[in-house]
Amino acid sequence: MISVCIATYNGEKFIEKQLQSILDQTITVDEVIICDDCSTDNTPQIVKAFVDRNSLNERWGFFVNEKNLGYCLNFYSAIAKAKGDLIFLCDQDDIWSKDKVEVMCDYMMTHTDTLVLASRYQLIDKDDNRITNLKIPYYSLLNDGSVEDISVNSLIGCSWVRGFSICFRSKIKEFLVPIDVKSILAHDWYICCLGTTLGKATILNRVLCYYRFHEDNVSLSDINRKEFLGSREKRVSGVAESINAHSYIATLCKKEKHTILRFVEFEKKRLKFLNTKNPFVWLSLVFSLTHYKRYYKSVKGAFRVWLGDLFYGYNINF
């Protein structure tokens, strides 16, 4: 059985195109679970009209949260309702290739040791035009059908696999403790970590979806941010969430447990500085650049985050 889980919030501009791309798949999905996080626009009405117009009420379930949960907990809510053996995650504003489900299901059927599978994707703008001039970390258009395994080590501190590109086996659900990691990491990072610790996670080098960047897109806002800093509170909560989530992953992991726990101690030291603003704690963190390097996989990126901690700690902005 195949399930698709969609978390919606104020997605009226593009949600119908995404729903249509799911309906147009070369193989029919068994169920679609849509959880709306108290949208204030017409998203619920658009979704309901689409489901009714296409006579999908028996297979597509639409739920509206009693209160706003945030996108991570909203996805967990949708996943909890899914009955499928394979569960696809879906954003509200992208478009899927017509053979996305078929290709990924075929791979999962023949590679039973893979718990999480991701695909490659193409960037598009608000008008469905392809984007080629954005520099996105870990972005690749490799489309030769080859595969790459995702290691636990590569995910420590770094969320680099996009949630809309993944599917996973229902086995993951029993380990999916609802840890909110919305500030810096995200639900997709968490699920991929579970895949690598419990079994195997893989990237299939096929472009199977179109990731939309537009003025309301959080990732695009981050890339085009004019100010050096965002919210100090987000930085602090993000590090705290990272400590919580990595500590949990370490309880499940055998091969990289000690590496994860060392990273947790590093994050605790960062959090101590952000909360106390003790300059000596920050200076001592320069000896932890190997941990800082995990965020952007480069020495330049490591120094950038280290300096960023100083600016966030003292609320210095540019």
Domain ranges in the chain? 2-221, 226-313
Distance CA(248)–CA(168), nearest Å, equals 19
Which of 3.40.50.2000, 3.90.550.10, 3.30.1280.10, 3.40.50.300 would CATH assign to domain 2-221? 3.90.550.10
pTM of full prediction above 0.85: yes
pLDDT in tens, the chain (318 residues): 999 999 999 999 999 999 999 999 999 999 999 999 999 999 999 999 999 999 999 999 999 999 999 999 999 999 999 999 999 999 999 999 999 999 999 999 999 999 999 999 999 999 999 988 777 767 888 899 999 999 999 999 998 899 899 999 999 999 999 999 998 899 999 999 999 999 999 999 999 999 998 656 544 444 434 344 457 888 999 999 999 999 999 999 888 899 999 999 999 999 999 999 999 999 999 999 999 999 888 899 899 999 999 999 988 765
Compute the CA torsion angle 126, 129, 134, 139 (nearest 10 deg). Answer: 100
Could you tell me the sign of the dihedral formed by the alpha carbons of 165, 167, 168, 173, in that order?
positive
Please count the other Cβ atoms lying within 10 Å of the Cβ belonging to residue 132: 8
Answer whether 184's CB lies under 8 Å from 236's CB: no
CB neighbour class for 233 (10 Å; exposed up to 12, middle 13-18, buried from 19): exposed
